[in-house]
């Protein structure tokens, strides 16, 4: 596994249970609220956006939902993006953020070509650095298990909140912020 920058301490897990924005169960309704770059975190979210005819600027997938392999229809929907996007494979551990993933995320955000980051491991924490690295006005959409899709708008306030969360994780948050702030 590549160099791990930060890991989520057990004591902080509860802080990540609350949605970081409004919940949607319908991709069309969600998309009507979005104006600006779109970052999708999770296979099921990416699948629903693809089904609604939208290619996210950045999609982060790991082939899993709730720690189980995604259904074939979800995997096929994500795979359909392959013809329209650049695909980058990275490693990332459960409960952490690797240097490889964070660097690839940063590059994908600034790349004008849509990118799918295929994670070997787990992508559960990617919404946090995505909000920090994305431009103001962007949208980060991630799945809330058994509830729907969360629309987190990238604002000065959401960036500050994510920086606070990431800075309290175990590891080298300074190195993490150096990568996220580059560009």
* 45 assigned to a ligand binding site: yes
The number of beta carbons lying within 10 Å of the beta carbon of residue 146 is: 6
Q: How far apart are CA 21 and CA 156, in angstroms?
A: 14
62 is known to lie in a ligand binding site: yes
CB contact at 8 A, 57 and 154: no
123 is in an annotated binding site: yes
C-alpha 119/C-alpha 60 separation (Å) is: 7
Alpha helices in 2-142 (DSSP H): 27-32, 43-51, 72-80, 99-110, 127-133
Q: Does 18 carry a binding-site annotation? A: no
Helix (H, G, I), strand (E, B) or coil at 17: coil
Tokens 């995997």, residue located: 75
**Looking at the chain, how many residues does it have?**
183
**The token pair that represents 103 in the structure block:** 């660097």
Query: Does 55 belong to an annotated binding site?
Result: no
Annotated binding residues, written as ranges, equal: 43-45, 62, 123
Annotated binding residues for GTP, written as ranges, equal: 43-45, 62, 123
């Amino acid at each position: 596994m590549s160099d791990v920058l930060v890991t989520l301490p057990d004591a902080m897990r509860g802080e990540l249970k609350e949605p970081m924005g409004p919940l949607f169960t319908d991709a069309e309704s969600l998309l009507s609220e979005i104006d600006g770059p779109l970052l999708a975190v999770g296979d099921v979210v990416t699948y629903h956006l693809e089904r609604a005819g939208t290619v996210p600027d950045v999609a982060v997938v790991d082939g899993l939902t709730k720690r189980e392999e995604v259904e074939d229809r979800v995997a096929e929907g994500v795979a359909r993006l392959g013809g329209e996007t650049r695909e980058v494979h990275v490693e990332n551990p459960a409960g952490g953020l690797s240097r490889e993933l964070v660097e690839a995320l940063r590059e994908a955000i600034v790349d004008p070509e849509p990118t799918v980051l295929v994670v070997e491991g787990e992508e559960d924490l990617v919404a946090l650095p995505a909000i920090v690295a994305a431009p103001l006005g962007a949208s980060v959409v991630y799945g809330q298990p058994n509830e729907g899709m969360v629309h987190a708008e990238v604002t000065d306030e959401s960036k500050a909140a994510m920086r606070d969360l990431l800075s309290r994780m175990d590891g080298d948050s300074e190195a993490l912020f150096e990568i996220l702030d580059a560009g």
